[in-house]
Structure 1
């Protein structure tokens, strides 16, 4: 199942014991607090890992600004880029050395293709949605709950959910890594 903004906010509100978001309750203070925290928390959670559902690839256009010292070219990153995962040249086959400076990638390659985590992911797999909802709950608990609840518990639940989401993402993204035995790998069909 894929999750969206409303389902994740509702889950976070439920976890802190607040009313969910419906047409009648969308103006409730708890719902407004969760909605205000959501975008910042989403950006943070997306930037923590190379999520397969948020991966994008782009050939960069050379920028007009001078590169940082030690580099030949500056390549502006896509506006939705949260995290560069890889940079390559020669049709994407050869990985290159690069540095990030502000919103630009600095490299010596005359053409650059990047793989990156995009901020424009709109729906999320279950495990990521669970981690995101725990993080939203952590952020809003002090404002929604009397006494703020136990932040340490929310943080621990977020970290566990994040670890589980990373493992599920990596297994789905690289199924060949699941089978470490060369004997078994040769005999399994993927």
Structure 2
């Protein structure tokens, strides 16, 4: 697995910067830029897609006192970067668009909350993965291209390099999305009633 610095060096090479960095704390323009960009862009790429390695499902902690128009109010999960959907505990089946449970993110004095009408709600979300040893190789590749987008202009002043990095980022993200869907298997669709009757 790639380290944070290795991912940054891949990004630097993609914008034709030939001096790799050894750490974020060294005194160089490249290291300074990587230090500034890396954390926020890592979170941005994590939010861009429900990466399987960064997915979690937890039962939500009820806070009581629901907001007007909602039946329940829950605490937003710790280390959550993006809520993907509200789920019924114990239910594995993928919900169709008309089955999805409505929710809204809000705030109170303790931080972010989730408003929904689902009793005993659970939440599927992307969590904040900071340890690069957990990164999927495709994620590391996408992150390196995303870093290259922001590094291109300050390090090379060539807008065509930034455009190229943007195109490659979108392509790498598209490939990663396709690959991620091949690593899971949904439950089979239930048989239609007329098929069960004929059996």
Q: How does 1:59-78 map to 2 (within 5 A)?
A: 59-63=59-63, 66-78=65-77
1:121 CA drift (Å)? 4.9
Structure 1, 142-151 or 162-171: larger mean CA deviation: 142-151
Q: Distance in 2 between matches of 1:113 and 1:24?
A: 38
Structure 1, 39-48 or 14-23: larger mean CA deviation: 14-23
1:5 CA drift (Å)? 1.5
* 1:135 and 2:146 aligned: yes
1:3/1:125 contact within 8 Å kept: no
Q: How does 1:85-100 map to 2 (within 5 A)?
A: 85-92=84-91, 97-100=101-104
The match for 2:173 among 140, 155, 162 is 162
User: Do the aligned partners of residues 23 and 60 (structure 1) sit closer, same or farther apart at CA in structure 2, a change above 3 Å counting?
Assistant: closer
* 1:101 and 2:112 aligned: no
Alpha carbon RMSD of aligned pairs, Å? Answer: 2.6
Structure 1, 36-45 or 114-123: larger mean CA deviation: 114-123
Q: Distance in 2 between matches of 1:24 and 1:77?
A: 32
TM-score (norm 2): 0.77
Structure 2 counterpart SS, 1:111: coil
1:93 CA drift (Å)? 5.6
Pairs aligned (count): 175
1:151 CA drift (Å)? 1.9
TM-score (norm 1): 0.80
Structure 1 residues not aligned, in runs of 5+: 178-190
User: Do the aligned partners of residues 33 and 24 (structure 1) sit closer, same or farther apart at CA in structure 2, a change above 3 Å counting?
Assistant: closer
Q: Distance in 1 between matches of 2:6 and 2:66?
A: 43
1:12 corresponds in structure 2 to 11
Structure 2 residues not aligned, in runs of 5+: 107-111, 189-199
2:45 corresponds in structure 1 to 45
The match for 2:125 among 110, 113, 116 is 116
Q: Distance in 1 between matches of 2:43 and 2:81?
A: 8
Structure 1, 74-83 or 48-57: larger mean CA deviation: 74-83
1:29 CA drift (Å)? 0.9
